[in-house]
Amino acid sequence: MSRRAVVTRDVTTGECDWLPQDIIAGTILYEYEGYTYGCIEEGVAVTLEEDKTPFFEFPKEALEFVD
């Protein structure tokens, strides 16, 4: 079971151009626990749906893990 996180601030594709869409504060994301092929540099690998790909990198400081 993946850890669940709440987005604490809006993060846009202007800030992180690799995001699939703008992610607004309050959105629930799930930590991705699969292999990331070394492509996560400074953030956290997350998904929009628990245990499903695709994963993407998200800024650590914009997440609060809740479990």
The reported pLDDT for the residue numbered 5 is 98
The reported pLDDT for the residue numbered 64 is 97
Query: Which residue range(s) make up the domain with 19?
Result: 1-67
Mapping DSSP onto H, E and C, the string for the chain reads CCCEEEECCCECCCCCCCCCCCECCCCEEEECCCCCCCCCCCCEEEECCCCCCCCEEECHHHEEECC
Q: Kindly state the percentage of the chain with pLDDT values over 90.
A: 87
Task: Give the count of domains, the chain.
Answer: 1
Tell me the per-residue pLDDT of 34-55, one tens digit each, with 9 for 90 and over. Answer: 999 999 999 999 999 998 999 9
Mean residue pLDDT of the chain comes to 94
The CATH number covering residue 54 comes to 2.30.30
Res. 4 pLDDT band, cuts 50 70 90: very high
